[in-house]
Amino acid sequence: MPLSKSTPREPLHTRTIECAGYRRADGLWDFDGRLVDVKEYDFTGRLRGTVKRGEPVHDMSIRLTLDDDFVVRDIEAVTDAAPFACCPEVAPNLASVKGMRVDSGWSLSLRKRLRGVKGCTHLTELLGRMGTVCYQTMLPLRRGRDATEAGPPRLLDTCYAWRADGPLIRDRFGDHYTGDH
């Protein structure tokens, strides 16, 4: 169902985030993400000069490499467009996520590790979004392995649909259902 018809309006800013997941020949997983911001008007900044309508204000990409346990094994970041010349210099700081596990709390952990002068708001946002793509890519291919792991389903209580007292858990994972029986 589409959104309701809006009142007349003028487009000003568009942020596009694209993410894709890949299984590598060596058994690891790659996740490529890209964040692009464009304005629908020309503007002039003191440090970058004139940015034309449709020209990226931000154009940033990340490749995140994980193992089967969702542990970050490598990361690469590139900034092709940014408002300030120094922005690409932060890319090496993202190496601090190596060894982290993409799981519940991923985005919060990223914000703590890459906060302030240690990181870039845009790259941190992109990494957070990439976490869900990791799950969407890897979980369907790991179902057999996850079914043999002890404990509750990995996604239990991570959202409304996966809540412990909901019908999904009742019907598929009854041992972990906490609602009325």
Q: What tokens does 67 get?
A: 């193992």
pLDDT in the model for residue 149: 58
| Torsion angle of C-alpha atoms 129, 132, 133, 135, degrees rounded to 10 | 160
Residue length, the chain? 181
3-class DSSP state for residue 112? helix
What pLDDT band is residue 137 in, cutting at 50, 70 and 90?
very high
Taking a C-beta distance cutoff of 8 angstroms, is the pair 136, 29 a contact?
no
Mean pLDDT of the residues in the chain:
92
Q: Which of 14-18, 122-126, 136-140 has the lowest mean pLDDT?
A: 136-140
Q: Identify the DSSP state of 96.
A: G
Render pLDDT for 78-90 as a digit per residue (tens, 0 to 9): 999 998 889 999 9
Q: Which of 61-65, 138-142, 160-164, 166-170 has the lowest mean pLDDT?
A: 138-142
Q: How far apart are CA 33 and CA 22, in angstroms?
A: 12
Render pLDDT for 6-38 as a digit per residue (tens, 0 to 9): 999 999 999 999 999 999 999 999 999 999 999
pLDDT surpassing 60 at residue 112 = yes
pLDDT surpassing 80 at residue 147 = no
What pLDDT band is residue 145 in, cutting at 50, 70 and 90?
low
Q: How far apart are CA 165 and CA 181, in angstroms?
A: 10
pLDDT in the model for residue 51: 92
pLDDT in the model for residue 150: 66
